[in-house]
Structures are given as structure tokens and as C-alpha cells.
Amino acid sequence: MTQYSIWVLEYAYVTKFHRSGVLYGAHNQGYLKLPYCYTVIKGNGHVAMVDVGYNDKDYGKAIADGLGVKNWHSPRTVLAEIGLRPEDVDTIFISHAHFDHFGNVEDFPRATFYIQEREIAKWVWAMSLPERMRFVLSGIDPGDILRGVELACNRRLVCVDGDCEDVLPGIDLHAAPDTHTWGSMWIAVRNDGRRESQDVWVLAGDLAYQFENLGDSGAGGAPDGMFIPVGLAVGSQMNLIATTEQMVKQVGNETRRVIPIHEERLRDRFPSRITDKGLRITEICLAGGVRSLVA
């Protein structure tokens, strides 16, 4: 039986984002809508999330305003659309520490957070660099990193060193060092609970923004084109391509099972609805006996 329900929840969006930011080499190819989302995984007695969005205040808001982010809503408002509260969330996997993924830490008072040790350590190091090198901090709110350190002081941050199996039953963490960021990671949900699973979903974080990053022209089967890495990388494009190969292999080359949360076209591939706040909920799969929340 399927163990977990998975939803992708939009909490804000950029209406005009350069395509070159999401597809390497797509210069002068116009703009696209870029949803800002996080993912909820519910089942086996747990409510988990991948990433938490940004907090729309202080420096996080300044970054968002500079990028043209619109229609931000809090986790309490967004989670209510699927009948949850921030206090219900017990586990949070941080795919990487960019402001739009790691900024709402304070909204989840009961959650334990998981992040790659390399991710948070390298951002602390980057903050110590000379002013002339501050370009490497693009997309980072230093306050988020400090809040992460505070989580560690309160024994609510688990720093993972590499891959980690069964953090929750059937949920594995996979390290992707020196790719989109210093210590990005992707999350695999083995939804039948089996070690050699036939029902795997990969939650890609920002290791893939668009279907094209996966070599997917839109049909959602095996990749039919070459992988095109994302445009933004602290690490290397080669590392991004190698990681994409790992993610696609994990799902038996069925690229529709690799979920890029910034992909607006998820609504065309999975059941979705638009809330009265103008934000999209996409239902990736449902645990056994769970009714649809988008139908």
C-alpha cells in the first residue's frame, strides 16, 4: 500500500524570471513564471516538508522584492489548504539554504530540521569572505544561516554527512555536493516501503527547475533529450548533470517521478487546483485511503 501523500504547495511566484536562470545557456530566450513552493509529505504518522519558503520580512523580503516575487502567503495560510498547521509538521528536510527554501524556520516550532553539514558549514565560511567576493552569497539571507545555527543550539538541527537512508520510514536523503549550492540534497520517497522500490518519487529541490533539466520534453516518460543543467550553480555543471543522472536512475528513468518544484507545468501533469489566494496546490500522489484535496 502507498505510504505517503505528497503535495507541492505554491506560496508565492515571480511572474517574469529569466529562462537563463533555470536553463543553462538559454540567453535572450525570454522569461517564464517561476512558482515558489515547498513540498508536504504526510503518512506513517508523520507530517514532513521539503523546505519552508522565506519569511517576507527583513533581508529575506528585500531579496524577494528585488526578484519581483509576488503574492506571498505564510505557511499557516498555505498549509491550511490541505488541513494542516505549521505545528503539525515534525520533520523538515532542507534541500539547500537559499532564502526561498530556508527562511521560515521560526514558523515551525515542533519540527526537527535536516540539512547537509557541508551546506550550512560552507555558507558560514562564505559569509567570512572579503566584501569583493560577496557575489557567492547571492540568494542567501545570512539571518537564515544564523537561525539554522540557533536550531543546532536547541538540538533541533541534524547535520547529515552524505546520504542517509530511512530518516523516516522509506524516505532517504541523497547528497549533491558542489552543484546548485555547496551541499544541496535531494529526497527520495520509496512509497511502497520496499528497499528495491517500484514506487519512488524524487523531490529535486533546485537541482532541477524545469522538465528540460531532466531531458524531458513534456511526455514524462524516459528522458528523450540531453540533460540541461540549471543556470545557477555554486558548484559545477558537470556535477549537476551527474546528479540528474542519479535522480533519473532512482525512478527507473521515469522522469515524471522527479519533481522540480519551480516548474509551473506540474499543473499539467498532476491533479491541481488554484486557491482563492491565487496559489496552486499540486497533488503528486495519495496514501492508501486518503481522499483527494484538489478534486
| Structure confidence by residue, pLDDT tens digits, 74-83 | 999 999 999 9
Lowest mean pLDDT among 104-118, 168-182, 215-229: 215-229
User: Quick one: pLDDT at residue 243?
Assistant: 98
The residue to which cell 547529515 is assigned: 160
User: Quick one: pLDDT at residue 163?
Assistant: 98
Q: All 3 cell numbers of residue 120?
A: 550550512
User: Quick one: pLDDT at residue 232?
Assistant: 87
Residue ranges with strand state E in 95-225: 112-116, 157-160, 164-168, 171-177, 183-190, 200-203
User: Quick one: pLDDT at residue 252?
Assistant: 96
The Cα 157–Cα 149 span in angstroms is: 8
The pLDDT mean for the chain works out to 96
- Domain residue spans of the chain: 5-285
**Whole-structure pTM value:** 0.97
3-state secondary structure at position 151: helix
| Structure confidence by residue, pLDDT tens digits, 21-63 | 999 988 889 999 999 999 999 999 999 999 999 999 999 999 9
Check whether 133 has a pLDDT greater than 80: yes
Confidence grade of residue 155 (pLDDT, cut at 50, 70, 90): very high
Check whether 272 has a pLDDT greater than 90: yes
Q: What homologous superfamily does CATH list for 5-285? A: Ribonuclease Z/Hydroxyacylglutathione hydrolase-like (3.60.15.10)
The Cα 129–Cα 267 span in angstroms is: 41
User: Quick one: pLDDT at residue 222?
Assistant: 74
Find the mean pLDDT for residues 280-284. Answer: 98
Give yes or no for a contact between 143 and 189, defined as CB atoms under 8 angstroms apart. no
Strand partners, 259: 203
Residue ranges with strand state E in 24-156: 31-43, 46-50, 69-70, 91-93, 112-116
User: Quick one: pLDDT at residue 224?
Assistant: 82
- The backbone torsions φ and ψ at residue 175, rounded to the nearest 5 degrees and listed phi first, read -75, 145
Could you tell me how far CA 199 lies from the centroid of its own chain?
A: 20
| Structure confidence by residue, pLDDT tens digits, 252-267 | 999 999 999 999 999 9
User: Quick one: pLDDT at residue 264?
Assistant: 97
User: Quick one: pLDDT at residue 82?
Assistant: 98
User: Quick one: pLDDT at residue 220?
Assistant: 73
Check whether 290 has a pLDDT greater than 90: yes
Spatial CA neighbour of 126 closest among 104, 150, 97: 97
